[in-house]
Structure 1
């Protein structure tokens, strides 16, 4: 069922106008005929003003909180019989996802939810049930890697069967030393109680793409090991003395995690993109970045920060097809999220790095490895961000969930695997994924 004719844009409300919310909203400026941002809910005044001006949002549809937006929507549905928009982008903090998704799904909005689905497996189960009950189009940010030109071209070869059966996957996410310090030591995802464990907040992308390559096979057993090795008080160099902030530290120049090096120096050279743009409200400049480093969490010594999520983790997964997978997430790299992948088939292999991949067929004589260089359209996750929002908007316009290549049940399945891996890491045992999910479902139904 076509919900919007071609040329009539899908209308979208953005809940949370931070880096992810603004990133998805950019598509409306790139292709105004596809979608239009008509409402926003964002508590930070300068950030809110920026997106309002960029998209020329009417002031009657500008809100300080998602609750205010929801209340206005409730009133509009009651009095006029229509929603404020066709779809909602949910890009608030992780622990708020369930509340926002449940509220707007009940009102019939189509939803694109940023990763993770939720920070508790029971909440994920409730969200899946609510989405299915509402019958809405549901897109999920954790699947963003699937939508890049690189991943789509690679997946076509994987699922074509040209190289035989996929037997084993070796996949590495090199988070990046300063990226990890920014997001998972000083940033929003540093403490599990305020967000979730780092395998979920950083690497649910990776477990999802691995599961998609091996689909329709499903994870059956998982084991995992990992810990917080370096970003702890005992890791602090003695020569740093009692300094708790980088701007006061006598060895700041030689520290790879110096906040001055990561934030202030780039701004002084005119660079105001990520990660600098994320630590202040509004446009970053030397004055407000300096103030942020003097008073906020992003200027604290990484060895004095209030962080507890692991900085390295390995995950092993067995699938019901007999296939196996090993995944590594590690902070200490020069590469920034440039995933390294090896896919081993019965008749060949694929080796890739998110930019190019090489396909080798063992049956060729002589073997002639073929290098693929998919065109990157730009944007985050190798073009996956643009691919995801474009596909979501088209799915909403046509009423076709299948365009997204996944649905809420599959979204839930890959999240279950991530939660199971974390259970294994904590308890030091192999976890039966099917049994783990069954127990979680029973508990969720009892609450």
Structure 2
């Protein structure tokens, strides 16, 4: 496979240098590529407002003091030369636009975390500015790079199931994950970040668009609201914070359960308590997490104490130019976290994807089932986020720059813009309770 080949040809690479703008969880994941493949990618500089994060990454990547910035704007000053080939932008959503525009104008190729921006006109301008400055723009719609996702597209295009009639897709966010990210966390409030469909599911709208191509979505509608995480649903006797709540033991969204009691969520504690260091033992980590839960947002009651307003469930319906349809459901209240499942209905068969590495095909004529296993172990232990998709996306970006082959990017600038337009249109349809024509947004 192409991905396996890419792991064994380091001698052919031109080393790409990069800077990371915004060094939270996503930025740190992409930075790991430099640890695994130093011949391909070298991290030159970082910019982040948090001194703890700057110190941590400076130590890991042996960065010179002069390349450590507390504000990315320092990098675009007229007296600062371009430091590297590319900029990886993983800032808070509302800062994507300004940073991308200015860094592209400076000549940096751009790897931009989704969403591109929080306004549709800003997304369009980002694409135009990158084209004007002749820099590569890759938006992190990382799921397109998964081998199983590509296989689904191949089977559809080969007419295995006949003519594709409809897609049913669901993003199961997970009960604890929604509480962590969209009630207590960075994406809890639309004015401070963006609406939840854009923050969480522009990935999913992009997948539907990809699988449906060359069809074009012409109409969209959407329904949903914030139903559960409100002050009206706060249980009697509940406190403002979980650690001193008399009914904490009865609440599945308890911060104590999510961050202190379950070993499954150990990866979250660094987000809750960013002062945790690699050498800290379990007791020190627990103390730091407890302090964060007593003083910070992640210890607050999910019912009316977090200033959250983004919807916790939403259904979007897409109509395509040949009459094909698709539905996309985003739901907080699920056992599994960030598990995507899809069904593809054709005139001669059906495909089912359960979110893992296999696809099941049911043939209407023979009434037999076939399983396609698309397990790809080339990314095992390397940037494991999104089932290995983070690695495949970063690897494609670096190869595109190293070999001067923009076609290696799985989602070109205009593809990404198109899926963002659909997402903005869906939210407008939801808020205005109407069917939106996509032509309104072009």
Q: Same fold (TM over 0.5)?
A: yes
Tell me the residue number matched to 1:94.
Answer: 93
Contact 1:44 1:281 in 2 (8 A): no
Q: What are the equivalent positions in structure 2 for 1:321-340 lying under 5 Å apart?
A: 321-340=322-341
Which of 159, 162, 169 is equivalent to 1:161? 159
Tell me the residue number matched to 1:146.
Answer: 144
Residues 1:299 and 2:299 are matched in the alignment: yes
CA distance in 2 between partners of 1:105 and 1:398 (Å): 20
Contact 1:191 1:308 in 2 (8 A): yes
Tell me the residue number matched to 1:252.
Answer: 248
Which of 2, 5, 8 is equivalent to 2:14? 8
CA distance in 1 between partners of 2:399 and 2:13 (Å): 12
Consecutive unaligned residues in structure 2, runs of 5 or more: 1-9, 278-284
The number of equivalent residue pairs is 420
Contact 2:13 2:402 in 1 (8 A): no
Shift of 1:120: 0.7
Tell me the residue number matched to 1:419.
Answer: 424
Consecutive unaligned residues in structure 1, runs of 5 or more: 78-82, 439-447
Q: What are the equivalent positions in structure 2 for 1:283-294 lying under 5 Å apart?
A: 283=276, 285-294=285-294
**SS in structure 2 of the partner of residue 325 of structure 1:** strand
CA distance in 2 between partners of 1:354 and 1:186 (Å): 26
**SS in structure 1 of the partner of residue 79 of structure 2:** helix
Contact 1:153 1:374 in 2 (8 A): no
CA distance in 2 between partners of 1:135 and 1:279 (Å): 39
**SS in structure 1 of the partner of residue 274 of structure 2:** coil
Tell me the residue number matched to 1:22.
Answer: 28
CA distance in 1 between partners of 2:363 and 2:402 (Å): 40
CA distance in 1 between partners of 2:111 and 2:395 (Å): 11
Tell me the residue number matched to 2:364.
Answer: 362
Contact 2:13 2:399 in 1 (8 A): no
Which of 159, 168, 179 is equivalent to 1:181? 179
CA distance in 2 between partners of 1:295 and 1:282 (Å): 14
Scaled by the length of structure 1, what TM-score is found? 0.90
Tell me the residue number matched to 1:316.
Answer: 317
Shift of 1:360: 2.3
Scaled by the length of structure 2, what TM-score is found? 0.91
Q: Deviations along 1:333-369, whole A, 9 cap, x unmatched? A: 0010111100112222110122122122333x35233
Could you tell which deviates more after superposition, 152-161 or 120-129? 152-161
CA distance in 2 between partners of 1:390 and 1:342 (Å): 29
Q: Deviations along 1:7-57, whole A, 9 cap, x unmatched? A: 432101000111000001111111112111111001111111111111111
**SS in structure 1 of the partner of residue 267 of structure 2:** coil
**SS in structure 2 of the partner of residue 412 of structure 1:** helix
Residues 1:280 and 2:273 are matched in the alignment: yes
Q: Deviations along 1:154-173, whole A, 9 cap, x unmatched? A: 22222333332221100000
CA distance in 1 between partners of 2:348 and 2:219 (Å): 26
Residues 1:264 and 2:260 are matched in the alignment: yes
Tell me the residue number matched to 1:171.
Answer: 169
Distance 1:366 1:186, change over 3 A: closer
CA distance in 2 between partners of 1:206 and 1:23 (Å): 21
CA distance in 1 between partners of 2:316 and 2:242 (Å): 34
Contact 2:145 2:410 in 1 (8 A): no
CA distance in 2 between partners of 1:39 and 1:316 (Å): 43
Could you tell which deviates more after superposition, 420-429 or 257-266? 257-266
CA distance in 1 between partners of 2:355 and 2:36 (Å): 24
